[in-house]
Amino acid sequence: MGTPSVAYDGLVTYVDNRKVPAAKYVADIEKLVGDRDPAVVTESGKELLAKYRFLEKSMVTKLTALHNKVPELKDALTIIEQIEKRGSDDGGDIYTYFKVSDTLYSEARISSTKTIFLWLGANTMVEYPVDEAIALLKDQLNVALESIEDIVCFPLICDQFSLEKGSILDSQPNNQHGGDGCPSA
């Protein structure tokens, strides 16, 4: 754990190894401000809130991308495992459908094969032996699933976001929000 930045002195308790500052609830704003300029303290709080918003948005984006990637990896892995099974059984061709666009699918006939072409992205397609393709897809699937589980920082960011927003609202004069830390309707 790191130490809080001087700019956020009194607003955060620590900075974790992911560089996410842990906000603390400030019950006594006057004590926090002390002899510092209140505008500077308010700006520091608003800057911290903006950081939490950015972190939250980037985590949601990453989580969405991972959730979209997992079914694609599972589908590819399933079909390649079927190709491997058919190749070892000499069971003939496989008939399947593949996605051309969001609303268009086409039928495909897959003959027995020893190699698979995998689209790696960035205009790159690589030919792999079937067993290596399966191993690669399993590794990618495991990494994606672990990454989804690893986003444990997300609840922390939501908590910090709520704490910082409450601190900023409480720092305003009571006649602006009713004194309970919530904006008036």
pLDDT tens figures, 6-65: 466 666 666 666 666 777 777 777 887 788 888 888 888 888 888 878 887 888 898 899
Question: Is residue 184 predicted with pLDDT exceeding 60?
Answer: no
Please state, in angstroms and rounded to a whole number, the distance separating the CA atoms of residues 107 and 26. Answer: 62
Please state, in angstroms and rounded to a whole number, the distance separating the CA atoms of residues 142 and 43. Answer: 42
Please name the residue that has the structure tokens 């019950």.
27
Give pLDDT, residue 127: 95
Burial class (CB in 10 A: 0-12, 13-18, 19+), 97: exposed
Q: Is the alpha carbon torsion for 162, 168, 174, 175 positive or negative?
A: negative
Domains of the chain: 6-176 (1.10.287.370)
Burial class (CB in 10 A: 0-12, 13-18, 19+), 157: buried
CB 80 within 8 A of CB 130: yes
Give pLDDT, residue 143: 94
Per-residue pLDDT tens over the stretch 127-177: 999 999 999 999 999 999 988 887 755 666 666 656 666 655 555 544 344
Give pLDDT, residue 182: 34
Answer with the residue of higher pLDDT: 170 or 120: 120
Question: Is residue 104 predicted with pLDDT exceeding 90?
Answer: yes
CB 100 within 8 A of CB 111: no
Residue 111: phi and psi, rounded to 5, are -80, 165
CB 12 within 8 A of CB 160: no
Per-residue pLDDT tens over the stretch 66-81: 989 999 999 999 989 9
What's the Cα-to-Cα distance from 94 to each of 28, 74, 80, 90, rounded to whole Å? 70, 18, 11, 11
Give pLDDT, residue 71: 92
Give pLDDT, residue 94: 83
Residue 182: phi and psi, rounded to 5, are -115, 140
Predicted TM-score (pTM) of the model is: 0.62
Q: Which of 145, 143, 135 is nearest to 76 (CA)?
A: 135
Give pLDDT, residue 102: 87
The 3-state DSSP class for residue 159 equals: helix
Give pLDDT, residue 164: 60
Please state, in angstroms and rounded to a whole number, the distance separating the CA atoms of residues 132 and 83. Answer: 13
